[in-house]
Structure 1
């Protein structure tokens, strides 16, 4: 009986998912957060049992401190501090806008070659979590620099149009407002594919039907900052998953992942 119990326990340990660690030193650790994984426990998602913060803590055997966030459906670089002191130091860098964050977004239509959008955004409040917050808070400064990397046109009739167009956009947020990139791209009439809150449901449905896609096509590919202890420039890069690469290939874009993870 003991042998059977031990075998079952070993199988559970083997099957327990692990996060991909992209960078680690004595002060910080960065992971490649999968799409669909919450950063930490939230009473708004009480049914969830897995969270990046707890999974990483169990994986490396020590407490971790989140220093920024990624939306649940967004994948990519997520940085944690390994002490409250290092969290405070790196938070100062974030507040001073001395961290460069790069995202890739698959969007509807042919995006402009380059666009710096300076459009203040009203804070999005949750009816339950933010019921005591100031509902009349003025819009906050929000700036994003966009660059179109690739465009594709598919000869598939869509509504009143004879073909359908998409772009892959490089995004550099200069501020950190909630859903900033998603809201800014929607404002530019180039919503992100798979965005159920700020996107185009008809195009989302098209990608589900033609590509079996069920995720937000937003990727946090790069995080660049000056290490507050060593003064070394740290550039952390996350991969593009196979599902996205397959779609990019079908759109006629490069097959190699390096075409998407290097800053142009």
Structure 2
């Protein structure tokens, strides 16, 4: 297997839904290490962080089976609107985006924990005197498409920068303040069984809250430093 850091704005593999894109993790990694790779899970285009691929079909089957039986623990960081609850369990079935309206929704479950909150004196909405936001840890126990984004919207705390499930005016306000337009969702840690012998291993993106390790190697870390530098009140 191989673990890598996926940059924001890269697709994992080619898709007809984004025909104009030219950067694909699968092809870039294959060229970098000189061998075929097998995707076993994926991250949205706008999400950065830890991604795992298999190096041969047997490992791909073992890893895919681990994801299917929920033997993989996933942790994400997200910047969201408003003051999220300290703890929330979102058990809200989701229908696939491309499914017909009568298709049944599939079980979906996410644990959400607030790490910090802030209130800025500048209003992003004229109805309010200030702007509130939270930094949350999201742990999905199922793997539906856009699950974290849809579940955070479901509890009225959409991810900042989410053009599909968030609020356009608020996204633009934050983009102006942070100097960057992006989806503020980061795949932080994966804990999974090794495909060869089943031992539990933890893969960490290297991002550190509330500080970032500065080695200059990963631009996404500098993106998140803009968020971490805000006047947070930790839980």
- The alignment's TM-score, normalised by the length of structure 1, stands at 0.80
1:99 corresponds, among 43, 59, 72, to 72
Unaligned runs of 5+ in 1: 1-27, 126-132, 255-263
Q: Are 1:220 and 2:182 counterparts?
A: no
Structure 2 SS opposite 1:205: helix
C-alpha distance in structure 2 between counterparts of 1:253 and 1:245, whole Å = 16
Q: Are 1:50 and 2:17 counterparts?
A: no
CA contact (8 A) 2:162 2:171 kept: yes
CA contact (8 A) 2:76 2:137 kept: yes
Instruction: Give the match for residue 48 of structure 2.
Output: 75
Q: Are 1:251 and 2:218 counterparts?
A: no
- 1:203-234 superposed Cα distances (whole Å, 9 cap, x missing partner): 10111211112110000000001213223221
Structure 2 SS opposite 1:202: helix
Instruction: Give the match for residue 214 of structure 2.
Output: none
Q: Are 1:149 and 2:115 counterparts?
A: yes
Look at both structures and tell me which one has the larger radius of gyration over its CA atoms: 1
C-alpha distance in structure 1 between counterparts of 2:123 and 2:161, whole Å = 20
Could you tell me how far 1:69 is from its partner in structure 2?
0.6
- 1:17-73 superposed Cα distances (whole Å, 9 cap, x missing partner): xxxxxxxxxxx0011100000000112222222200000000000000000010000
Could you tell me how far 1:253 is from its partner in structure 2?
6.4
Instruction: Give the match for residue 102 of structure 2.
Output: 136
Instruction: Give the match for residue 258 of structure 1.
Output: none
Unaligned runs of 5+ in 2: 208-220
34-43 or 204-213, larger mean C-alpha shift:
204-213
C-alpha distance in structure 2 between counterparts of 1:81 and 1:244, whole Å = 28
- The alignment's TM-score, normalised by the length of structure 2, stands at 0.90
Structure 2 SS opposite 1:250: coil
C-alpha distance in structure 1 between counterparts of 2:24 and 2:200, whole Å = 29
Instruction: Give the match for residue 88 of structure 1.
Output: 61
